[in-house]
Amino acid sequence: MAADILKELFSERQLRRARLLSGLIIFLFLLMHIINHSIGLISVQAADHARPALLAIWRHPIGTTLLYGSFLVHIILVLRTLFVRRSLAMPKSEAMQVVLGLSVPLLLIDHILGTRVASHLFHLRDSYETIVHSLWTKSPADGFKQSLALIVIWAHGCIGIHFWLRYRSWYAGIWPWALTLAILLPILSLLGFVQMGRTIANPTFPLSGFPGGTYDPTILPVGAVEQLQDLRVILYGVFVSAVVLIFAARGIRWIRERAHLVTIRYVTGEAISVPRGFTVLEASRIAGKPHYAVCGGKGRCSTCRVQIIEGEEHLPAADPAEQRTLDRIEAGPGVRLACQLRPTGSVTLSPLLVAFPDPQGVSESYEAVPGREREIAVLFCDIRNFTTISEARLPFDIVFLLNRYFAVVGAAVEAAGGRVDKFIGDGAMALFGINGSLEDGCRQAVRAAAGIIEGIDELNRQLSQDLTIPLRVAIGIHAGSAVVGTLGYGNARNLTAIGDTVNVASRLETTAKEIDMPLVMSEPVATLSNVDVTMAETREIVVRGRTVPLRIFVFGKSMTGMLLQTTAPGRALKTRTA
């Protein structure tokens, strides 16, 4: 029983949580420190007056233990991760995070010794007046080093938090504000440091004592400098030795593992020989073979999954984290996660999501979002009898007409708060509620539909002399669960949605065409949007792949204004049966 508790306590999942929690504690301390620096833009005295309140929690014995314990735990777990990781081949973003993290102790040790340790052991008054005077006037090189340390630690923390939150649905909504703060706060902090330094360097500033005077606030007792230097050598030596030992241990392990290679064969013909203990994902990265892993190889997604063709007897059982992911996607027999699978013998496999290397020169401006299941509303819109309208027109005239039509659809969708997914021929697809609730998405889709119908009427009036047949649209709206993510290749990548909800919305748009009505929406959309369906026609249709008929509401053009009049939340729907 005790062994099971210890095993769970020190499982990979718990260790990742410990590293995240310790990193968040350090980041919170840094954030408060940066805010305190920024107050220096007002005055040195203002920064010193705010300092006790901002540091009170960290100068308490519990806060001190929590902070420095977090430093120690975070460093130990990072070094452990470096050792456990079988390959150092990794994406550039992960490599940057590792390099920045390893540089933090090297940049921070001097500052900790010169402030907190000197204050505790030798009663140095570590006020802003003292520290800024030391870093700006007496040792500008140290001041530059600490400014660099602030930038490096802040960047390391922001990247870590971004990796942690980037796939949460609500994060996209706050991302612009978070990025703005992430850039603005360190700039304000450094400007506060510069302002305090220039103020203290001014001969008219009433420093507590001047160098060579009766009292210099930066002077330590006799022997203190030597003791701090000894501590500096010890701390730098311990950290550098730990890093060297980690890489030395990796080298020894690499030499020993050469005698126990396993071969991972892909159905495409590649064969990769790696030491036993490597994951399939690490093997792919070593060989330079493209392999999806949007969560960074932590078992939180299933994009790296593979189908085992041969060698199942050489596979260890899936650990709890991997099994949870496999259960969630209802993986079939022989499907495993490449980032968690460490074959004990040779295997043959096939990646289930084929990755392609990015072509050279591809723009990185597209919105890269991995597939996530979300509750959204989907709208399909199409022009009825467009073939009849276009067959007697010149190609350039058709392009002009379509662009005017697309402008109406795009403006209505964006005004309602939705996102145009794509235009195909004379059809359009739009998504609603990607960054909000499903109720908001349904209301937005209904408003967009009303806007499109009204916009087409206005377009018909403007082009009445040119159109022999007025433009008429057919719109279908459905809401439910769909997988939303970035799909495509090269420059043709965009955020889209796939799944049953999309298929049903397309089917409703076809139904609107068949019954010659401008709008058809499903019952879930009508319910969640609270639209008044009292005068709407009610039908039930059979959708391919569904055993239960789907209830729909049909709206005529004269009912467009009614679409914008929503009932109070929770009000029951009033319907009329056809």
Check residue 255 and give its pLDDT.
Answer: 80
Q: Is the pLDDT of residue 354 over 60?
A: no
Check residue 545 and give its pLDDT.
Answer: 65
In a domain, 360, yes or no: no
- The pLDDT of 266-288, averaged and rounded, is 83
Q: Is the pLDDT of residue 29 over 90?
A: yes
Residue type, 414: E
Instruction: Please say whether the beta carbons of 338 and 304 come within 8 A.
Output: yes
**DSSP per position, 108-149:** HHHHHIIIIIHHHHH-----HHHHHIIIIII-HHHHHHHHHH
Kindly indicate the confidence band of residue 76, based on its pLDDT and cuts at 50, 70 and 90.
very high
Residues 333 and 389 in one domain: no
Residue range 301-351, pLDDT digits in tens: 777 888 999 888 888 888 887 888 888 778 888 889 988 898 988 899 888
Check residue 470 and give its pLDDT.
Answer: 85
In a domain, 358, yes or no: no
Check residue 192 and give its pLDDT.
Answer: 94
Query: Domain end: 218, 252, 286, which one?
Result: 252
Q: Is the pLDDT of residue 360 over 50?
A: no
Q: How would you write 59-119 as a 3-class SS string?
A: HCHHHHHHHHHHHHHHHHHHHHHHHHCCCCCCCHHHHHHHHHHHHHHHHHHHHHHHHHHHH
Q: Which residues of 93-108 are buried (b: 16+ CB within 10 A; e: fewer)?
A: ebeebbebbbebbbbb
Residue range 82-98, pLDDT digits in tens: 888 767 777 777 788 88
Check residue 568 and give its pLDDT.
Answer: 36
Residues 278 and 140 in one domain: no
In a domain, 7, yes or no: no
% of the chain with per-residue pLDDT over 70: 85
Residues 393 and 509 in one domain: yes
Q: Which single residue is written with the structure tokens 């942690």?
A: 164
- CATH value at residue 317: 3.10.20.30
Strand pairing of 550-555 and 427-432? unpaired
In a domain, 140, yes or no: yes
Residue 1 CB partners (closer than 8 Å, separation 6+)? none
Q: Which single residue is written with the structure tokens 């450094």?
A: 190
Residue range 499-542, pLDDT digits in tens: 889 999 999 999 999 888 999 999 999 988 888 887 888 998 88
Kindly indicate the confidence band of residue 489, based on its pLDDT and cuts at 50, 70 and 90.
low
Tell whether the torsion through CA atoms of 454, 456, 457 and 463 is positive or negative: positive
Residues 324 and 423 in one domain: no
Q: Which of 30-39, 69-78, 141-150, 390-399 has the lowest mean pLDDT?
A: 390-399
Average pLDDT, the chain: 82
Q: Is the pLDDT of residue 209 over 70?
A: no
Residues 42 and 151 in one domain: yes
Instruction: Please say whether the beta carbons of 384 and 513 come within 8 A.
Output: yes
Q: Is the pLDDT of residue 217 over 60?
A: no
Within 10 Å of residue 191's Cβ, how many Cβ atoms? 14
Question: How many domains is the chain built from?
Answer: 3
Residue 422 CB partners (closer than 8 Å, separation 6+)? 428, 429, 494, 496
Residues 344 and 383 in one domain: no
- Pick the more confident residue, 18 or 216: 18
In a domain, 4, yes or no: no
In a domain, 553, yes or no: yes
Residues 497 and 537 in one domain: yes
Residues 45 and 161 in one domain: yes
- The pLDDT of 406-414, averaged and rounded, is 92
Residue range 543-572, pLDDT digits in tens: 776 677 889 999 987 776 666 554 334 444
- CA distances (Å), origin 371, targets 40, 59, 169, 368, 483: 45, 45, 11, 10, 6
Cα 433 from Cα 98, distance rounded (Å) = 36
Q: Which domain holds residue 281?
A: 261-351
Give which of 372, 417, 462 is closest to 168, Cα–Cα.
Answer: 372
Instruction: Please say whether the beta carbons of 77 and 19 come within 8 A.
Output: yes
Check residue 110 and give its pLDDT.
Answer: 86
- End-to-end CA distance of the chain, in Å? 66
Give which of 548, 534, 537 is closest to 504, Cα–Cα.
Answer: 548
Kindly indicate the confidence band of residue 362, based on its pLDDT and cuts at 50, 70 and 90.
very low
Q: Is the pLDDT of residue 286 over 90?
A: no
Residue range 8-28, pLDDT digits in tens: 777 777 888 898 999 999 999
Instruction: Please say whether the beta carbons of 374 and 167 come within 8 A.
Output: no
Cα 290 from Cα 197, distance rounded (Å) = 51
Query: Domain end: 252, 269, 297, which one?
Result: 252
Cα 182 from Cα 428, distance rounded (Å) = 37
Q: Is the pLDDT of residue 485 over 60?
A: yes
- The pLDDT of 194-217, averaged and rounded, is 70
Q: Is the pLDDT of residue 370 over 60?
A: no
Query: Domain end: 252, 278, 304, which one?
Result: 252
Cα 502 from Cα 483, distance rounded (Å) = 10
In a domain, 356, yes or no: no
Kindly indicate the confidence band of residue 463, based on its pLDDT and cuts at 50, 70 and 90.
confident
Residues 215 and 328 in one domain: no
Q: At what angle do helices 12-39 and 171-201 cross, to 10 degrees?
A: 40
- CATH value at residue 70: 1.20.1300
Q: How would you write 217-274 as a 3-class SS string?
A: CCCCCCCHHHHHHHHHHHHHHHHHHHHHHHHHHHHHHHHHHCCCEEEEEECCCCEEEE
Residues 152 and 72 in one domain: yes
Residues 245 and 330 in one domain: no
Kindly indicate the confidence band of residue 496, based on its pLDDT and cuts at 50, 70 and 90.
confident
In a domain, 6, yes or no: no
Cα 563 from Cα 387, distance rounded (Å) = 29
**DSSP per position, 291-328:** ---TT-SSSS-STTEEEEEE-GGG-PPPPHHHHHHHHH
Q: Which of 25-29, 108-112, 183-187 has the lowest mean pLDDT?
A: 108-112
Residue range 119-139, pLDDT digits in tens: 778 777 778 888 888 888 888
Backbone angles phi, psi at 382, to 5 degrees: -150, 155
**DSSP per position, 457-514:** HHHHHHTTTT-SS---EEEEEEEEEEEEEEE-SGGG-EEEEESHHHHHHHHHHHHHHH
- The pLDDT of 52-78, averaged and rounded, is 89
Check residue 442 and give its pLDDT.
Answer: 93
Residues 169 and 117 in one domain: yes
Q: Two tokens at 303? A: 């994009």
Q: Which of 8-22, 239-253, 387-401, 464-478 has the lowest mean pLDDT?
A: 387-401
Q: Is 223 left (phi over 0), alpha (psi -120 to 50) or beta?
A: left
- CATH value at residue 401: 3.30.70.1230
